[in-house]
Amino acid sequence: MSRIAYVNGRYQPHRRAQIHIEDRGYQFADGVYEVVLVHRGQPIDEGPHLDRLDRSLRELRIAQPMARAALSQILREVVRRNDIDTGLVYMQVTRGVSRRDHPFPTKPIKPAVVVTAKRVVVPDDEKVEQGARVITIPDIRWERCDIKTIGLLPNVLGKQQAREAGAFEAWQVDRTGMVTEGTSTNAWIVTSKGELVTRQANHAILNGVTRLSLIKLARQEGLRFVERPFSVEEAKGAREAFISSATAFVTPVTQIDDRVIGNGRAGSLSLRLRQAYFDYMAGA
């Protein structure tokens, strides 16, 4: 079955989808995006994702490309046309096409919209039990990481560094030695006292939608939870660690750099939250 993409008003074969060479997303990374998990053919946390998309557009002063209901319909139609049961749908909005110049165009232009979808395979239990390895790298990104912009070059470089090191993810570390987040995930630890910790949402991190769902689930589960920075050394001495995102769900971390976390297997609280998240998806 050929993949189908939505590009600026048209559904077309993915292999033929095109944008203009002077789209400001291509020229300047002048745009934003969202990635939404699809489970049993239904988008998970669609509302919060669209809320964050609206916020990112406001922060970059990009006009709304269409009404929310219309964008939601396109999202679901792309999922339907691609016959996605478990997968991801990607939405991107750029400022649009204009003669190349750094300032915003002086005349109104129409934002460009792209929506694509793909299937994903959920890792089996054994792979999850083994956990993932992460490395730590300096955080070289700009100071507005709270905006989900398509300008992801530092993230790309960090993810490639992780891959070349045989790791799944790279945790970025600020100048004070505190972990901010992964290149495409949020970072969590469980302290020796059983306290669940993740960095507070500010300009230093992207406030992940999966992160927000997990915070709600943690509170429902009665877990001791706090939002604060944690250092690399604290993370390496933690009882458990894990990462979260729409693509990683809840993935236990069993090694940070050269340090094994806990007993080198997925921790019980990480697995508990992973199951709670799957139960949440099933009921969405």
pLDDT beneath 70: ranges in the chain: 1
DSSP secondary structure letters along 71-86: HHHHHHHHHHHTT-SS
Rounded Cα distance between 56 and 34, Å, is: 10
pLDDT in tens, 7-31: 999 999 999 999 999 999 999 999 9
Taking the model in full, what pTM does it have? Answer: 0.95
> DSSP letter at 17?
-
Domains of the chain: 4-119 (3.30.470.10), 125-283 (3.20.10.10)
Q: Is-catalytic flag, 118? A: no
Question: What residue type is assigned to position 160 of the chain?
Answer: Q
Q: Choosing from 148, 193, 216, 236, which is the catalytic residue?
A: 148
191-226 exposure pattern, b = at least 16 Cβ within 10 A, e = fewer: beeeebbbbebeebbbbbbbbbbbbebbeeeebeee
Taking a C-beta distance cutoff of 8 angstroms, is the pair 284, 44 a contact?
A: yes
Rounded Cα distance between 96 and 104, Å, is: 10
Rounded Cα distance between 181 and 178, Å, is: 9
> DSSP letter at 21?
T
pLDDT in tens, 176-215: 999 999 999 999 999 999 999 999 999 999 999 999 999 9
Rounded Cα distance between 256 and 241, Å, is: 9
